[in-house]
Amino acid sequence: MQASKLINNLKFKKVIPESFEDFSVSLLTQDTREVIGGSIFVAIKGAKADGHKMVQEAVKKGAAMIIAQEKLTEISVPVVYVQNTKKAMAILSSFFYETSSQALRIIGVTGTNGKTTVTHIVEAIFRNLGEKTGLIGTMYRKIDDEILKTKNTTPDIITLQRTLNKMVEKGVSTVAMEVSSIALIQGRVWGIDFDVAVFTNLTQDHLDYHKTMANYEHAKSLLFSQLGNKYTHSGDSKVAVLNIDDPVGERFEADTAAEILTYGIKKEAMIKAGNIEIHSEGTDFDLIVFGEKFHLSVKMVGLFNVYNILAAFAAAYACGVESEDIIGALEKFPGVKGRLQLITSASKVSAIVDYSHTPDGLLNALETINDFAKGKVFCVVGCGGDRDKLKRPKMAKIAVEHSDYPIFTSDNPRSENPQTIIDEMLVGVPEQVEIPTFVNRREAINFAVAMAKPKDIILIAGKGHEDYQIIGDTKHHFDDVEEAKKALYLKEQRD
């Protein structure tokens, strides 16, 4: 696309110099590290760095035009001044990648917990129908079978539009996408034309960023207010899928112009579950869809996963998929890596690796395990550095109250001192309770495995699918599943 045509999509701007030699735009980027000849570089003022200070570097690498919101001097390429470069980036990327988001059916999922799980179930439902699918979230970006790495749960808008564009090229028709609260506030999904927006739940997380639960809720509500502002006459109205058992779900009804589809277990919902029986290998329940009852046996364990299944069912139902087709996929779905992932061993001690890194997630994981545990429950847990500190004493208290042997350790300490994080967890524990603590996560896992007896279960919480540990600025290889398997194997040899 020619630069002049692209920037014409910005109504309010000042271009200096006013006339310039037009060129074909090779790349639109906000990151100097990506710039190639013929790029347009968008200068963003971020939390850590300021793109305006890196413009010379971008030009040196071949940027042929700069979009800026602050005065730049001595720049040898045309500069387009706008009020807000983030907004300009959203507008330009949507035109640069043309029709991507309109050409796809996009299901956005937001909420504190369950986004990764729900998006994976939604993906499985549409794959089961023979469609090519896309998935964007915490673990990766997936275009049909191709897996691309990801830095954030919800990528920046340019990466997002680029990814959607590749999906269209590859013949993908439906995309399931996690939409984080931070992304909503930062405008990472501005201009994305969601067809269905799903709300899972809202409990404490990310207060380092949002400061209050009210701000956090407001951030999540943006997905619903962004949905369905314009009614199309094709009959495909936008749908907000809301967990009606969560008071926040009820409140979001007022935030959206879209049609509402409710799901729940406790309250009267359009899509409901009842007669729930949880066992160690799966869950049985009745699914009631507008009064019509189906019986389901799924491989996923836990009440919270029934909510995730209801959310995914409702999302697919909102797109017109038949109940029987959805159920077929749900009963086959094996679960998501690192979410209540069971590791058994000949020693009869089992480990469960779970991505519970919030108080509510940890409570749900422990309550589920307690429901079917026949021996004692161990809980190896830590809290991430440079993230919500208020989670620390709460998660510690939950571990102490809901497991027989809590053991505190490090998650991803990042720039923080790992012992300080553990000390902040200990604030949530009564003084007389002694907790074994290990800064080294491997030692904590080995200790739990050594202590455990046949029939005991060890929950290793917080890192799920992650195959790394971030200590300082370094990302070391570390995988809870690998560690648990190794420790359990050595125990078998010893005992």
Ligand X SMILES: CC(=O)N[C@H]1[C@@H](OP(=O)(O)OP(=O)(O)OC[C@H]2O[C@@H](n3ccc(=O)[nH]c3=O)[C@H](O)[C@@H]2O)O[C@H](CO)[C@@H](O)[C@@H]1O[C@H](C)C(=O)N[C@@H](C)C(=O)N[C@H](CCC(=O)O)C(=O)O
Write out the binding residues for ATP: 111-117
Please tell me whether residue 406 adopts helix, strand or coil conformation. Answer: strand
Decide the pairing of beta strands 79-81 and 65-68.
parallel
Tokens representing 151 are: 């830095």
Measured from the CB of residue 116, what is the shortest distance to ligand ATP in angstroms?
Answer: 3
Nearer to ligand ATP, 26 or 152 (CB): 152
93 binds, among ligand API, ligand X, Mg ion, none (CB under 5 to 8 A by kind): none
Site residues for ligand ATP, window 296-355 (CB under 6 A)? 304, 307-308, 339, 354-355
Mask 201-240, x = binds ligand ATP (CB under 6 A)? x---------------------------------------
**Rounded to an integer, what distance in angstroms lies between the CA atom of residue 473 and that of residue 385?**
12
Q: Which residues pair with 407 in a beta bridge?
A: 380
Residue ranges in contact with Mg ion by CB under 5 A? 115-116, 138
- Which residue is closest to ligand X by CB? 46
Stretch of residues binding ligand ATP (CB under 6 A), selected from 318-326, 361-369, 415-423, 437-445: 361-369
Cβ–Cβ contacts within 10 Å for residue 409, how many?
27
Residues at the binding site are 32, 111-117, 152-154, 180, 186, 188, 387, 411-414, 462, 466
Q: Write out the binding residues for ligand ATP, residues 455-484 only, by CB under 6 A.
A: 464
Residue 54 touches which of ligand X, Mg ion, ligand API, none (Cβ within 5-8 Å per kind): ligand X
Which class for 389: exposed (0-12), middle (13-18), buried (19 or more C-beta within 10 A)?
middle
113 binds ligand API (CB under 6 A): no
Question: By CB under 6 A, is residue 388 in contact with ligand ATP?
Answer: no
Residue 178, classed as helix, strand or coil, is strand
C-beta atoms surrounding 465 within 10 Å? 18
Which residues lie across from 51 on neighbouring strands?
none
- Return d(Cα 23, Cα 138) in angstroms, integer: 36
List b or e across 276-299, with b for residues whose CB sees 16 or more CB atoms inside 10 angstroms. eebeeebbebebbbeeeeeebebe
Structure tokens given for 480:
């809870």
Beta strands, E only, 361-473: 377-381, 405-409, 437-438, 457-461, 468-471
Told to check if 115 binds ligand ATP by CB under 6 A, we report yes
- Site map (CB under 6 A) of ligand ATP, residues 26-65, x = contact: ----------------------------------------
* 462 scored as a contact of ligand API (CB under 6 A): yes
Of ligand API, ligand X, ligand ATP, none, which one sits near residue 151, judging by CB under 5 to 8 A according to partner kind?
ligand X
Rounded to the nearest whole angstrom, what is the least distance from the CB of residue 463 to ligand API in the complex?
5
Binding segment for ligand ATP among 4-12, 62-70, 109-117, 390-398 (CB under 6 A)?
109-117
Look up tokens 């469609």; give the residue. 131
Least distance in angstroms from the C-beta of 151 to ligand X: 5
Q: Which is nearer to ligand ATP, 114 or 428 (CB)?
A: 114
**CA distances in angstroms from 474 to 31, 223, 232, 298, listed in the order given:** 21, 34, 49, 39
Contact string 42-81 vs ligand X (x = CB under 6 A): --x-xxxx-x--x---------------------------
Distances (CA, A) of 312 to 109, 148, 316: 9, 23, 6
Interacting stretch for ligand API, rule CB under 6 A, among 12-20, 39-47, 164-172, 461-469? 461-469
Query: Is the distance from CB of 380 to CB of 459 less than 8 angstroms?
Result: yes
Those residues with Cβ within 8 angstroms of residue 17's Cβ, 6 or more apart along the chain or in another chain: 78
Residue 371 · residue 334 · CB < 8 Å: no
Interface pick for ligand X out of 154, 345, 356, 409 (rule CB under 6 A): 154
Helix (H, G, I), strand (E, B) or coil at 4: helix
Radius of gyration, alpha carbons of the chain: 24
Q: Which residue ranges make up the site for ligand ATP (CB under 6 A)? A: 113-117, 138, 153, 178, 200-201, 304, 307-308, 339, 354-356, 360-361, 364-365, 464
Q: Which residue ranges make up the site for ligand X (CB under 6 A)? A: 30-33, 44, 46-49, 51, 54, 138, 151-154, 156, 180, 182-183, 186, 188
Q: Which residue ranges make up the site for ligand API (CB under 6 A)? A: 138, 153, 357, 384, 387, 411-412, 462-463, 466
